Structure 1
Amino acid sequence: MKTLRIWHTFGSFVVILLWFLATLVSIVEFFMAKMIGTIGQTYQLSLGVILSPIFLSLLIGFGRFLIARLQQLSRFKNEQVIQEKVLTKSLKLNTLRDDKSNFINLLTVDSKNASPMLIITMTSLIAGGLSFLAALVYCLMISLKLTICVLFLCLFGLLIPKLNTKGLKNAQDRQQNFSGTVQRSLLQILDARILLASFQAQEYGLHLFKSHYNNFANAQYQTGIKRIIMNSIGIGMGFVFDISILAVELLFVGLGNISITQYAAISILTPSFTWLFYSMPGIYAELIRNSTSALRVVDFIYSSDNISHQNHSSIKSIAILKLDHVSFTYPGSNKKVFQNISLKINVKDVDKVLITGPSGGGKSTLVKLIMNQLQPQAGTITNIAENGAKSLVENQQIGYIPQKNEIFDDTLLNNLTLDRKVTSSEIAAAIQRVGLTDFIKTLPQGLETNIGNNINRNLSSGQTQKIGIVRALLSNRSLLIMDEPFANLDPESAKNLAQALKKLPLSLIVISHRLDFSRFWTKHYLVQSNTIEEVNS
């Protein structure tokens, strides 16, 4: 199963073509050696007989050039395809993860390490192995005793990866793990740079990063040492093989077991034997490096971590959202966040719900439960359609605006539409509804202005929240969840946003710890002490 997944992730027609070309090259090598070995026996010496091996050697050279050319053309394209698969999978995950470094490591390190596994590393291993096999078959055709001597000497070459595989794989695993730790540490330090500066603790951030990077550098060093040891042993044993096989071949010539032309043919094929010592250990070490990253990529792509497979076109709108006797406790904790809570939101009648409560009381957990990012241990969260049919709530049925609304390095238009197909009239209506028209008039190129660069720094928190609301309006969601939209707004901006929310023609669930803004809600709930209670106001 894992082998099929690796092929499905990294395999392509180009890989099959490369392996086919490698097979053809090894076949030509065999016939070239056979032709040289029979000069003077089967073939009489002539210009055609001399030119034929030259032509075959040129054909071998062209084949190897073609393989190398295809490898280079395909490697970076393959890396991009793998990165797209990783990114596609991460975007399909319903579960919110705080460990962004895992995604970054997969995208930047593992994808790069894994991409040449089949195209370059396995192709090199197959090409070398087939050339070795072709040389061995020719050797067997002219002398069984010589073949036995060659095989005996080659057994030592096969022992090189056998002796080093476990240690090299463990070292590569440690290096990959420490690489993720460095990525995670760097993200944490960059996110906390203002905090560190306010406490004049920049040295702590630097020390923390250096500590993690030293571990990573040490793991890199250990991996490099093991690769060097493997290659050095291979080169040393290769020299021994070269001398030994030369002595054996000359002995067989002297004894009359092989002719001088057969000796010449075997000498031409000797690099195919010494490949086992000079090149194969390094290729095998690279294969371990590639496969370590490839397995991480495959495990991630094929993980079934709360992914919705429902087709967006088949998603039905929510008429009533109902939480029925829901209980939830985080894994590893004895403290219940919610105990037997129930909540009913009439989405069809455009209920606007305000949820408040103390910090740590469970407001954000409630949002994650509703959005199917967390699963309750008891109770159900269901969508009741207009015909009374019940179904589980899908993430794509709900619009969501986080507290930190992401502004992408792109035009305002693309930030609003997110590359979805919407008409200009729909965009204009949504902009007018939330009150962004005056702001857009101040931009140098209007909707076509890139707001991901310096202009982004001048966006107010209120404008950022309104961009998020327009996104939700253009998605035609009947329910919109907003996480702390008033958190960073001044009183005037909070008032304007509340007025805009009141006019929205869709149901709302707004999480807030503030109440100093004009009323827009039809229901107010207080979350505290693992319960949720309606507040009469």
Structure 2
Amino acid sequence: MIKRMISFVRPLIPALILSLLCGLVAESVQVVVAWFTGSMLSQSAFSINSLWLILIFIIVGGITAFAEQYSGHYVAFKILATIRNLVYQKIQKLAPAGLDQKKSADLLKMVGSDIEAMEIFYAHTIVPLFIGLIFLVGISIIFAIVAPAAGLIYFLCGALIGIFLPLYKANKIKEQNAELSKVQGKIQQQMFEAIMGRDILLQLNAVPVKVDSVEKEYHSEAKVSQKVGFLNWQKNWLKLIILIISWVLTAGVLITQAYPFSTVLPLLLAFPFAFKPVEALAALSDPLSKGFGAAKRVFELLDTPEPKTESADSVQIGQIKDIEVNHLNFKYPSRDVEVLNDINFSLREGEIGGIIGQSGSGKSTLVKLIMKWYHVKPNSITINGTDLDQIDRDSLWEQINYLTQEPQVFSDTIRQNLTLGNDSFNDEELWQILKQVQLSELIEQLPKGLDEVVSSTDLQLSAGEAQRLTLARALLHKSSFLILDEPTSNLDILNEKIILYAIKKHYHGIVLMITHREESLGICDYVWKMSDGRLIQEKNESVT
């Protein structure tokens, strides 16, 4: 995994080298200033020139420290942008079938906090690691030239603080961070579900119960965080004790071996400053384990096999004229039980078909297969006489509008909710479409009309009005196949009639309605009943 993470750095090696050199200079300046100050104190050699020289060193140290941070974060942000793009592209390739088993909260955490946690490796690990190791060896040699015993003590102490102590604590911190990430994932999932199901929670007065459940998870998170904090506290105290002991040992060795004061004082003043880069190594274990855990989850997503729905010689499809389903059988890749068994039906342009059945009977699965979410056996589904497997998925989706039970309203203006950023639609077209779904009068009364900002939580739109808005969007963006997946199950009779009437009168392509309410099927030319994965035709007549 580390090798894979480092592979992202290759195009940015010059910036990384610059960060390393600047970091070495910045850290070295602190040691030099401390040594130089000790030399002046031991020899009472203060002068304006020496003070100016110290000031110049400090300025150089500040500039190089800034340059090291700037170039390091430049590398990190460039790499994180690359990784984030890869994750978004992978999600796009996996969607929708490949994300069926993924939790929404986990995906949100991944594109947010997980990718940001990887910044630790790129901005605060690679360069500090090399600086710490170079300092450990380089300063040991320099101190050994002045006083061999001091060089040996510094090396042993630095290795203990920067290498052995972090390794000793690494496994424990890794376990606790993994547990912490798991608990945080549960909290995010619960919060996500609470927000999405807020109406049900309020309706059933279940908010206190949900709050208690979330609070329990927060208490679990606090306990794990305390364990991580305690491990870091232990590590910091051990580090401080080792530093004090090593400094005292160095002072004792220098004094007992009768080194001159002009050598002892500069070395003792520079000694603690020389540990700063080595201390940075010791501080890497906790954030590094979080970064590696995040990287593991990101790479697991990137390595997820993509559903095979495209053939090498796929063809573009135009307007959908007919759909044929012949002896279709299907079971999900992760299950052994068949969801659909010998399904047969057909629809042609201008026809409205309805499939009724209880939840879990396979209705939505059938729709997903027609939309090419999953691979099916050859010639099980044909569109315009072409095997579904041979049809380009993107061109197929361009011909389909899919309305679900929950209306998708974006936090934006009504205009943008309708056009989705397509500037080719004029206001006259928008008002005409809104009139067809009986929303024009309502929106005309809003202070800003089409430019009024709405959202799924905006009380200006009821559930029925929000569903009618999504239907208006479907009618505006021309398609030849409209899929209605329980579109009226949560609506009152009035909104249901408005929506069904608008579809019957204004949509001229193929319509397939999935529902468990018989009242919704009045507009259908054909009705099938889905039960235990089997489809039985119940109605075959033209409805006026």
Q: Give your verdict on TM over 0.5.
A: yes
Show the counterpart of 2:408.
406
1:423 partnered with 2:425: yes
Show the counterpart of 2:109.
105
Compared CA separation, residues 49 and 210, structure 1 to 2 (3 A): closer
Unaligned runs of 5+ in 2: none
Compared CA separation, residues 345 and 268, structure 1 to 2 (3 A): farther
Compared CA separation, residues 334 and 89, structure 1 to 2 (3 A): closer
Unaligned runs of 5+ in 1: none
Trace 1:290-439 onto structure 2 (pairs within 5 A).
Answer: 290-301=291-302, 303-306=304-307, 316-317=317-318, 319=320, 320-330=322-332, 335-346=337-348, 349-376=349-376, 384=383, 391-392=390-391, 394=393, 396-397=397-398, 398-424=400-426, 427-428=430-431, 430-439=433-442
Show the counterpart of 1:215.
220
1:469 partnered with 2:468: no
1:280 partnered with 2:281: yes
Q: Is the 8 A contact 1:19 1:127 kept in 2?
A: yes
Compared CA separation, residues 171 and 112, structure 1 to 2 (3 A): same
Show the counterpart of 1:508.
511
Show the counterpart of 1:494.
496
1:446 partnered with 2:454: no
Compared CA separation, residues 361 and 402, structure 1 to 2 (3 A): same
Compared CA separation, residues 229 and 45, structure 1 to 2 (3 A): closer
Match of 1:187 among 192, 199, 204: 192
Show the counterpart of 1:232.
237
Partner amino acid, structure 1, of 2:354: L
Could you tell me how far 1:29 is from its partner in structure 2?
6.7
Moved more, 51-60 or 349-358: 51-60
> Matches of 1:206 and 1:439 in 2, distance apart?
36
Could you tell me how far 1:337 is from its partner in structure 2?
1.8
Show the counterpart of 1:120.
124
Show the counterpart of 1:163.
168
Match of 1:243 among 222, 233, 248: 248
Could you tell me how far 1:416 is from its partner in structure 2?
1.2
Compared CA separation, residues 23 and 173, structure 1 to 2 (3 A): same
> Matches of 1:433 and 1:284 in 2, distance apart?
62
Could you tell me how far 1:229 is from its partner in structure 2?
1.6
Moved more, 159-168 or 293-302: 293-302
Compared CA separation, residues 77 and 412, structure 1 to 2 (3 A): farther
| Counterpart secondary structure, 1:367 | helix
Could you tell me how far 1:276 is from its partner in structure 2?
6.5
Partner amino acid, structure 1, of 2:159: L
> Matches of 1:6 and 1:467 in 2, distance apart?
48
Q: Is the 8 A contact 2:324 2:382 kept in 1?
A: yes
Show the counterpart of 2:136.
132
Root-mean-square deviation (CA, aligned residues, Å) is: 4.2
Could you tell me how far 1:224 is from its partner in structure 2?
1.3
Moved more, 402-411 or 116-125: 116-125
Q: Is the 8 A contact 1:416 1:467 kept in 2?
A: yes
> Matches of 1:7 and 1:141 in 2, distance apart?
39
Alpha-carbon displacement from aligned partner over 1:262-281 (angstroms, at most 9, x marks no partner): 65554454235433664432
Compared CA separation, residues 387 and 358, structure 1 to 2 (3 A): closer
Compared CA separation, residues 146 and 243, structure 1 to 2 (3 A): closer
> Matches of 2:380 and 2:442 in 1, distance apart?
39
Match of 2:487 among 470, 485, 488: 485
Q: TM-score, normalised by structure 1?
A: 0.80
Alpha-carbon displacement from aligned partner over 1:227-257 (angstroms, at most 9, x marks no partner): 1122221111111111122333445563xxx
Partner amino acid, structure 2, of 1:152: L
Compared CA separation, residues 150 and 199, structure 1 to 2 (3 A): closer
Partner amino acid, structure 1, of 2:182: N
Alpha-carbon displacement from aligned partner over 1:326-377 (angstroms, at most 9, x marks no partner): 322346656432113234444xx3443222223322112222222333455x
Show the counterpart of 1:526.
529
Partner amino acid, structure 1, of 2:422: R
Residues paired across the two proteins, number = 522
Compared CA separation, residues 193 and 450, structure 1 to 2 (3 A): closer
Q: Is the 8 A contact 1:411 1:449 kept in 2?
A: yes
> Matches of 1:192 and 1:432 in 2, distance apart?
31
| Counterpart secondary structure, 2:516 | coil
Compared CA separation, residues 276 and 440, structure 1 to 2 (3 A): closer
> Matches of 2:334 and 2:435 in 1, distance apart?
48
| Counterpart secondary structure, 1:208 | helix
Partner amino acid, structure 2, of 1:162: L
Compared CA separation, residues 392 and 170, structure 1 to 2 (3 A): farther
Identity %: 19
> Matches of 1:426 and 1:342 in 2, distance apart?
38
Compared CA separation, residues 461 and 83, structure 1 to 2 (3 A): same
> Matches of 1:292 and 1:82 in 2, distance apart?
15
Could you tell me how far 1:164 is from its partner in structure 2?
0.8
Q: TM-score, normalised by structure 2?
A: 0.79
Compared CA separation, residues 3 and 382, structure 1 to 2 (3 A): farther
